[in-house]
Homo-oligomer: A and B are copies of this chain.
Amino acid sequence: LAQIAAARENTRYLPGIKLHEAIRFEDDDAKAFHSAELLVCAIPTQFIRPVLGRLKPHLAPGVPVVSVSKGIEIETLKRPSEVIQELFGERPIAALSGPSIASELARQLPATMVTAAADAGGSGEALARRIQELFTTPYLRVYRNDDLLGVELAGALKNVVAIAAGILDGMRAGNNAKAALLSRGLVEMTRLGVAMGALPETFTGLAGLGDLVTTCVSPEGRNRSFGERIGRGEKPADVLASIPGVVEGMPTCRSVVSLARQMHINMPISEGLHAVLFEGRDVRGQLADLMTRELKSE
């Protein structure tokens, strides 16, 4: 934090980007939260619980929280907004998601996002509008969506498909195969989401399809890059050991497959990826299985 404050630059994750002069850096929890009007929670999903547990005493009641994390907590299968609610109690909570690779946003390239608040029909409406107005700039257009569950699920599930997309890249399988993966992947993401109570439109919107496209296409995405090395023949455990931080799609794949099995939902791509990541199965065998299943309707 001291280094970022001194250089006014995050040299590890956003090299070359000067941070705006209005941004202050604070390592004292109490001071950081003093007079906060809105909290942006950008903690990797599996670390939200411990970090917010520490911060809990410092956040005033009623201060709204907007989550930008994309994942599902492994042990509890909860979404980021649910974990925040549990720790920070009743207050306005929303998610901000969509196709928004950080390096492009930092260079002010044009992008869109989508925000959804809890209690969307009621008190959440005001928070969603406030987030929309706060984050919209001439290069970033923020849409509202009423389906918080769907927005969060879509953001988590797309990381599973992104690992599979990376595997295809590593195998040099081509764009026809990747397009098929995205289409069929979106179908099974939607199937699970709808069974859990989300709206299908959310999955064909910016938080679903939009984010899926960026994540599966951008060279810099962590989940896609992780998959690419597996597609080239490396073992998942070896790849994981060689990179710092979290590959969100990996725990998400485990959660998704448990959910799908519990709920009897057919998710052949997630199952195939699960077999490669956790059951030691070969990637080529899994791809061949997907291509030679019984012929059927779309």
- Give the interface of A toward B (CB within 8 A): 98-101, 104-105, 107, 109-112, 114, 132-133, 136, 138-139, 141-146, 172-180, 182-184, 186-187, 190, 201, 204-206, 209-214, 217-218, 287-288, 291-293, 295-298
Contact = CB atoms under 8 A, between A and B. Distances in A.
Q: How many copies does the complex hold?
A: 2
17 contacts: A101-B176, A107-B174, A110-B173, A114-B298, A138-B291, A139-B291, A141-B180, A141-B292, A141-B295, A144-B295, A145-B297, A146-B297, A183-B205, A183-B209, A186-B209, A187-B204, A190-B204
Contacts of A101: 174-176
Contact of A104 (B105, B133, B174, B211): B174
Contacts of A187: 204-205
| CB-based closest 7 A-B pairs | A99-B179, A111-B176, A183-B210, A109-B174, A179-B213, A112-B180, A179-B214
A298 B175 contact: no
A217 B217 contact: yes
Contact of A176 (B112, B142, B204): B112
Given A209-B186, A217-B217, A218-B175, A99 B144 contact: no
A213 B138 contact: no
A275 B98 CA distance: 28
